[in-house]
Amino acid sequence: MKKQAAKIITVFSCKGGVGKTTTTINLAGIYSLMDKKVLIIDLDLNSGGIALSLNVPVEKTIFNAVDDISNNRFEEISNYVCKYNDKIDVLAAPKDPRNALKIDSKYVNLIISSCIYKYDVILIDTSHNLSPVSLTAIDKSDNTLFMVTNDPVDLKNARSMIAIFEDTENDNYKVVFNSSKDTGKDYFSLFDVKNIIKHNIDYTIDHSFYIKDIDKYVIDGEILTLNKKIRSSKKNDIIKLTKLATALLNSKEPNKEVRKDG
């Protein structure tokens, strides 16, 4: 029986520091608990933090994969990923940020196609820049999580991005309001946020999921959703995030263009 193609989920925002990387990693933890094989692709090419946040040893990165593809040396995506645990692999961002400029967006689809039938879920963390690489990832995804916060600059940029989504008839995105980030910045109510961005909020990460000592977990390379203490103390928040993860798996039909190339 032919293996089912992976669900591709891209996490995007219009501003740095909104919780994209943390959300990507937390979703990976939840999917691993669902017994799903997960690949995290770090497309924040200039300053990606997935491998650093997970303390995984990196020998090769996405730059090496792209370089080998362009020179007909590429064989298996497994030669470029690093392992976090039995369920979670990482395709890291370039070690040297200068190599980010050498990664053409045309290779993103080739990378995805090379692993589409090797994993159950592919999570893509992106830069907050509206780059060709990020746009390609969004275009090839089954769902995009568009992260917003209570930050005024973030919300203004988010309104512009949603207008772009509408102009390009892109409807495979969910707006996620992360109120667990910068909890002291409660400038706007949820009603205000909806009016500012001219769009409904599909999911909310509540204040209660704020982790005061989150840096400790990052230093230790821990995934919050896999930590027993966090799972106990933040039970309701974990349940909500699990519902989001499940909804993304059960979303609309896979992107046929990527599957065809695979």
Asked if residue 114 has pLDDT above 90, the reply is yes
Q: Which one, of 22, 38, 26, 34, lies nearest residue 85 by Cα? A: 38
User: In sequence order, what E strands does 98-251 have?
Assistant: 121-126, 143-148, 173-178, 203-205
Q: For 238-259, b where at least 16 C-beta lie within 10 A, e where not — what string?
A: bebbbebbeebbeeeebbeebb
Q: Residue 131: what pLDDT?
A: 87
Mean pLDDT on 136-163: 91
Q: Residue 252: what pLDDT?
A: 60
In degrees and rounded to multiples of 5, residue 9 shows phi and psi of: -125, 120
pLDDT tens for residues 68-107? Answer: 999 999 999 999 999 999 999 999 999 998 999 889 999 9
Weakest-pLDDT range from 89-93, 109-113, 138-142, 253-257:
253-257
Mean pLDDT on 184-211: 87
C-alpha span between 123 and 110 (Å, rounded): 16
Answer whether residue 1 is part of any domain.
Answer: no
Give the residue with greater pLDDT, 4 vs 1: 4
What is the SS3 assignment for 183?
coil
Mean pLDDT on 47-55: 93
Answer whether residue 19 is part of any domain.
Answer: yes
Answer whether residue 47 is part of any domain.
Answer: yes
Q: Residue 183: what pLDDT?
A: 61
Amino acid in position 3: K
Q: Residue 82: what pLDDT?
A: 96
Q: How many separate domains does the chain show?
A: 1
Task: Read off the CATH number of the domain in which 134 is found.
Answer: 3.40.50.300
Asked if residue 172 has pLDDT above 70, the reply is yes
Answer whether residue 42 is part of any domain.
Answer: yes
Answer whether residue 235 is part of any domain.
Answer: yes
Mean pLDDT on 220-239: 95
Q: How confident is the model at residue 262 (pLDDT cuts 50, 70, 90)?
A: very low
Q: What percentage of the chain exceeds 70 in pLDDT? A: 94
Domain that holds residue 73: 7-256
Q: Which one, of 124, 121, 164, lies nearest residue 14 by Cα? A: 164
